[in-house]
Chain A
Amino acid sequence: MIREKIIPAEILLGHPGFHRAYHNLQPANRRRLTIYAADVARSPDGRWWVTGDRVRAPSGLGFILENRIITSRVLPGVFRAARPRRLAPFFMKLRETLREMAPRYRENPRTVVLSRGADSPTYFEDVYLARYLGYTLAEGGDLATRDGRVMLKTLGGLLPVEVILRRVSDDDCDPVELKSGSLTGVSGLVDVVRNNEVVVANSLGSRLAETPALVPFLPAACRKLLGQELRLPSAATWWCGQPAALSYVLENLDKLVLRSAFIVNNSPPIEAALMTQAARDELVQKLKARPSQYVAQERIVRSTVPVWLGKTIEPWHSAFRFFVAADGDSFLTLPGGLARTSPDHLSLDRSMAAGERAQDVWIESDGPIESVTLLRSSEVALALKRGGNDLPSRDAENLFWLGRMIERADGAARGLRVLLRHLSGDEDDESSVVRVVLVRALASLGQIEPGLAVDGLKNGLPDLEESLPASVFSQQETLSLKSTMDGVARLVNSVRDRLSTDAWQTLNQLQSDWNPSAQSLQKMDSTRLLQLVQRIINGMAQFGGLSSEGMTRTQVWRFLELGRRIERVWHTATMLQATLVEVNDPEGLVMESVLESCNSIMTYRGRYLSTLQAEAVIDLLTTDDTNPRSLIFQLSRIQDHVAKLPSANQAVLGPDERLAMSLYNSVRLSEPHKLAQPEDGERRSLDRLMQRMLDQIPKLSNAISQRYLIHAGLPRPFDRETI
């Protein structure tokens, strides 16, 4: 069509996104577009206009699914009466199409959704879509090319991938042959595609099809290719690379909106009508200097839809996104869509994310509603399965750290709760002893700056009470509760697809507490802080219950557990070393506080009533294998878990197994009586045992990382010779 001058050559050959590697990347008869989305506007006269084509990795499908679930739940009566057509057949077709494109294992090819990761604005959708379609969610770092194939890095080793549904922009898919320095892709992917060993949908390079500069030439292209007119016209568009178009645009600048001719992103269009004279003159200069970089589009006046605002119904302007998926030689349209609404019709043109509200678009059914489900039909017998080893290594790593962070937050919160209660209590000899001890313990847990702890005690308690919130909310201190909760937030989003919705929500709800405004941080006092730590304790208990009762015992659960157990050993050992090594007089309140912050006070009282003795306390927290908070209990579970990790069944123990066993034995062989025995005012053997825990636990954590969680690191471009 370029040779026949239907499409100007510059739109392809001068396109900054036309990496020459896209040329001849796949057989000419292979499908290039699997998913297409159209941004559509309806004008007040009822006509529909396409305002943009989207083929890179169009977002919206996840939102549409979620909207549909919400509307059907909130308006069940209306939903049934309106009989909207189901969305599931579309997704089934999409799955079938992807399956048939696989270069091999067409009956059940391994398919991954390649996501840009938890920082990307569409991550939520990626997770949702992967789950709904039953695919593995992967990031660039989870995939590698080996022996001419794309592999998924899992705990059990590398597993070949046949189909990649990408949510990553074309140019970012391979730093070797496409945009160098990009970290979201898979090094060497282009070559694997070229050798037809993996299929990427939409095909690499398909972004050229969404080029805005192509729009004015679509009617002619349609006549040429299909011998017919466009069924749905585009909004009138001018590519300024043509002199006639440029002069029209310059004459009618105020009536048009300008965009980049080649690049589709979320940056707003240029609106000359809203500019100052100086800015407008500058724009005209730019247009004249590089006309081919711009397209101008006529603004479509958008019709309105009724929007319920709680008390009134108002007419708001609307913008739509509709999807089609490849179906054999044709395409299947999603019977529904995503609508954005806004009282200000200009704002809807600005970006895909613009608009105040989203609405679910229903297409009424003519006939009976198809009853379909994405689960396989019951006629095909399923092979029975148990949790396998195909957990991506990155997920395992994130779960392990999530376990550690959750336990760390819980431990810190419990310690803080005890201290805060004592701060508000009466001042007497025993309570001042316990305060000193607790401040020291919390400094060891990283909640109070050591220097601050000393000053706080020197200058009296009001000072400490005042500075405590700032210290707990410190972002500099890596162990502070704030940093820990930030870690939980980051990790919980990265493994969102591995957690149940309830478990995810439990953790997510805590986040707003830990991102206070500067103003409310200023006003934070110990009463408020006590509320916040109480909420963490409740939330973590809830999460613990959900994970112990709701998660199957797969490797997902095992890594989460390992993280928690390891962190709990660290917490208990830190507490014991900071509080009970030095013998205090009186010691009763100190022991009670330790039991409380290690969540064992009820057990102790149940056994010994109110008699507090060091030996009994130390036994309960270290060597008592019936107490789920004791060291021995954690170490026994750790030993059990590392033995059941993949590839851990060889005759020779791995370093992680050896460390776990030796830690277990050193606690198992300790006598509570000796641990509790002071020499010159110090419990030396307790100190030695706890020090051993604190020295060895990081080594155990590293040994597990080394064995299962190691990642190759970020790809770097080669230096080049200077010439």
Chain B
Amino acid sequence: MKYRIVHSTSYQYSDPVPVCHNLLRLSPRETAYTNCTSHRMLIRPNPERVSRRKDWFGNLVQSFSLDESHRKLLLTATSRVTVSPQVVPEANETPEWEDIAASIRDQSIDGWFDVNEFVYDSSLAPSGDTFRDYASDCFAPKQPILDGAIALMSKIFREFKYDPKATTVVTRPAEALAQKHGVCQDFAHVAISCLRSLGLPARYVSGYLRTLPPPGKERLIGADASHAWFSIWCGEAGWIDLDPTNDKVCGTDHIPIAWGRDYSDVAPIRGVFTGGGQHTLKVSVDVEPIG
């Protein structure tokens, strides 16, 4: 699948903002199955320079500062991405989950070093007994790891209510689990917390999702949104992306931007500004299939 993705963010302030500093993670990530053929970042007002680098996780980060006073900041990322189907192993042929956990703990498996950090607690996806208990019926003894992860994804999909009003920026997975509701970010964090509680490496993926219009309707431009899901490491088969919001193993409808331990590693826009008074934020995302 080929996509043209336009992600626009605008901040409008009631008072002038004399200074702001920003870090952007809005550039789709190149992976074995995704290829970003073009990416353009439009920033208004135009900063003097935008620096680009890869972060610890290999995500592309663009950073810039504005020292001229402004009342509006506009960020538009336009990307063209080709997505090939991911090779997903037969779930019941993946290693037993206890073996994966043990081989990372004992550092006895190839690639343990790169995977290791995704086992540990992070600020937005900590482990804990409640998470382990919640996941325990998905991970029976000797259960193949991907089997278990898919069961967990489906369990979250079944039991959680999608409710954009229920959670805030700082909703913790423990709260989301107790309330059984949230948005894609919360579902991903809950899944990651569950997997980490079992000693399994799981990471957070931010990206876009192609949305299909209802039958007979036109596709609405700009009505899409940023999306998030999780990824589980299955040993030799590597990382497999699972989307608990849609109960789907990620395929060509999912376009990853960045991954990390949790949302805080991959926030699309991070930074600070001074002044500004009251401000409003508007976001529009358009994922357009172009063949």
A residues adjacent to B (C-beta < 8 A): 2-3, 5, 9-10, 13-14, 16, 20-21, 23, 144-148, 175-177, 180, 187-188, 191, 194-195, 289, 712-723
Contacts and interface: CB of A to CB of B under 8 A. Distances in A.
A9 to B, nearest CB: 5
B268 interface: yes
Nearest to B164: A722
Contacts of B23: 176-177
Given A188-B21, A715-B273, 18 more contacts: A9-B113, A13-B120, A14-B121, A145-B21, A147-B48, A176-B271, A176-B272, A177-B270, A187-B21, A191-B51, A712-B18, A718-B269, A718-B273, A719-B279, A720-B268, A721-B283, A722-B183, A723-B183
A584 B279 CA distance: 57
Interface string B165-197: 000010000000000000111000000000000
A148 B185 CA distance: 34
B67 A146 contact: yes
B65 interface: yes
B107 interface: yes
Interface stretch (B140-148, B150-158, B220-228): B220-228
Given A9-B116, A289-B129, A712-B18, A720 B169 contact: yes
B113 A144 contact: no
B236 interface: no
Q: Specify which of A187, A714, A718 lies most central, judged by the most chain B CB atoms within 10 Å of its CB.
A: A718
A721 B272 CA distance: 15
B57 A20 contact: yes
Given A2-B113, A23-B56, A145-B21, A720 B65 contact: no
B272 A723 contact: no
Nearest to A710: B18
Interface residues on B, range: 35 or more
Nearest to B53: A194
Given A13-B120, A14-B121, A712 B275 contact: yes
A293 to B, nearest CB: 9
Contacts of B117: 9, 13-14
A175 B279 CA distance: 20
Contact of B281 (A177, A717, A719, A723): A719
Given A2-B113, A716-B272, A723 B21 contact: no
Contacts of A144: 19
B63 interface: yes
B120 A20 contact: no
Contacts of A289: 129
Given A289-B129, A723-B226, A723-B228, A20 B271 contact: no
A720 B266 CA distance: 12
Contacts of A180: 270, 272
Contacts of A719: 11, 169, 279, 281
B184 A723 contact: yes
A553 to B, nearest CB: 32
Nearest to B54: A24
Interface string B245-275: 0000000000000001000010111111111
B123 interface: yes
B95 interface: no
A713 B268 CA distance: 25
A721 B268 contact: yes
Nearest to B245: A723
A154 to B, nearest CB: 17
B266 to A, nearest CB: 11
Contacts of A148: 49
Contacts of A191: 21, 51, 63
A284 to B, nearest CB: 15
A148 B63 CA distance: 11
Contacts of B185: 723
B51 A176 contact: no
Given A20-B57, A144-B19, A722-B169, A716 B226 contact: no
A176 B274 CA distance: 12
Contacts of A712: 18-19, 274-275
Where chain A touches its partner, the secondary structure class is loop
A146 B268 CA distance: 23
Contacts of A23: 56
9 contacts: A9-B117, A23-B56, A146-B65, A146-B67, A176-B22, A716-B272, A720-B269, A721-B9, A723-B184
B276 interface: yes
Q: Specify which of B51, B56, B184, B228 lies most central, judged by the most chain A CB atoms within 10 Å of its CB.
A: B56
A14 to B, nearest CB: 3
A719 B275 CA distance: 14
Contact of B267 (A146, A187, A720): A720
Contact of B270 (A176, A715, A723): A176
B100 to A, nearest CB: 16
B55 interface: yes
A506 B23 CA distance: 49
Contacts of A195: 51
Contacts of A717: 270-272
Given A13-B120, A144-B19, A721 B273 contact: no
A14 B271 contact: no
A15 to B, nearest CB: 9
Nearest to B113: A3
A510 B120 CA distance: 54
A720 B265 CA distance: 14
Contacts of B225: 721, 723
A573 B183 CA distance: 63
Contacts of A147: 48, 67
A267 to B, nearest CB: 20
Contact of A716 (B129, B183, B273, B281): B273
Contacts of B119: 14
Interface string B52-68: 01011100000101010
Contact of A715 (B107, B116, B274): B274
Contacts of B272: 175-176, 180, 187, 715-718
B172 to A, nearest CB: 15
Nearest to B18: A712
A176 B107 contact: no
Contacts of A715: 272-274
A67 to B, nearest CB: 40
A716 B271 CA distance: 8
Nearest to B263: A720
Which 6 residue pairs spanning A and B have beta carbons closest together?
Answer: A14-B120, A20-B56, A13-B117, A715-B272, A721-B283, A712-B274
B160 to A, nearest CB: 15
A319 B63 CA distance: 46
B101 to A, nearest CB: 14
Interface string B36-76: 00000000000011010101110000010101000000000
B275 A713 contact: yes
Contact of B116 (A13, A21, A187, A714): A13
A568 B217 CA distance: 76
Nearest to A715: B272
Nearest to B280: A719
Nearest to B118: A13
Contacts of A21: 55-56
A20 B117 CA distance: 11
A231 B228 CA distance: 51
Q: Specify which of B116, B129, B269, B279 lies most central, judged by the most chain A CB atoms within 10 Å of its CB.
A: B116
A16 B67 contact: no
B119 to A, nearest CB: 8
Contact of B21 (A13, A14, A176, A720): A176
A145 B113 contact: no
A712 B271 CA distance: 16
B20 to A, nearest CB: 8
Contacts of A20: 55-57, 260, 265
Nearest to A14: B120
Contacts of B270: 176-177, 180, 717-718
Contact of B226 (A2, A13, A721): A721
Contacts of B9: 721
Contacts of B267: 720
